[in-house]
Amino acid sequence: MLPAAPFAIGPRAANHKIAMPTPPLTPLLSQNRAWSESMRAEDPEFFMRLVEQQVPQYLWIGCSDSRVPANEIVGMAPGELFVHRNVANVVVHTDLNCLSVLQYAVEVLKVKHILVVGHYGCGGVRAAMQNMKLGLINNWLRHVQDVQQKHNFQLDKIEDEDARVDRLCELNVVEQVMNVCQTTVVEGAWERGQDLSVHGWIYRLSDGIIRDLSINVTANDNLAECRDAASTKLIAKAHKWL
């Protein structure tokens, strides 16, 4: 059997220029270089300071939604906000990814504030409420459905579907704040007397504003009271926000 002949380029082929499409990632690399240059022009020492240390005061636990960029919407530069994101900003005690981020933030970086930040119109929350069959992610959204079942009495009173989803978005934040507070990482920090607070916020895509859900926990001896107070305030403020 003869070996295959090498690929030959004839005269016509050699002179023919094939237009190659721009790789889809090329614009990202170009934009990165432009960003790097603009940052150095504004602050020549910026990147050197980032190399030396990161000392964020805040851990942000938010949704993976691409429309909710954590640093940008609170006006913080790289190195000022430690971030963990997942679908529907859920905190699960068996999620080693989230717990590892939490432990590093609390025990190594010594953050002073943990921000659980949801957003109105969350697709994950809507999918959970509508019991959509989406495959693997349904196992994850089961945690949001647990929140829904806990608050069905309140949710069933809301006739408008979008408003009902938004209320579940708020209640989900409150429940995830509770979950953060009940982790061994946060409980241990409070037992050591570490200065640490856990807060619940929610972001509205349509105006870019973050709302404080009035749940701010600094110790684990009054968690139920904090949750009940936050839920009561949600009902009182509903006519202003929704």
- As a whole number of angstroms, the distance between CA 238 and CA 161 comes to 14
According to DSSP, the residues that pair with 61 across neighbouring strands are 84, 116
**How many helices (H) does the chain have, and how many strands (E)?**
11, 5
Spatial CA neighbour of 146 closest among 118, 176, 117, 120: 176
> 3-class DSSP state for residue 12?
helix
Supply the DSSP string of 133-179, one letter for each residue: --STHHHHHHHHHHHHHHTHHHHTT--SHHHHHHHHHHHHHHHHHHH
User: Was 119 annotated as part of a binding site?
Assistant: yes
Say which residues have a Cβ less than 8 Å from residue 147's Cβ, sequence separation at least 6: 168, 171, 172, 175
Element (H, E) at 71: helix 70-73
Looking at residue 15, the DSSP 8-state letter turns out to be H
User: Was 143 annotated as part of a binding site?
Assistant: no
User: Was 151 annotated as part of a binding site?
Assistant: no
User: Was 98 annotated as part of a binding site?
Assistant: no
Q: Are 201 and 173 in contact (CB under 8 A)?
A: yes
- As a whole number of angstroms, the distance between CA 196 and CA 82 comes to 15
Mind telling me the catalytic residues?
Answer: 63, 65, 67, 119, 122
Residues in binding site for Zn(2+): 63, 65, 119, 122
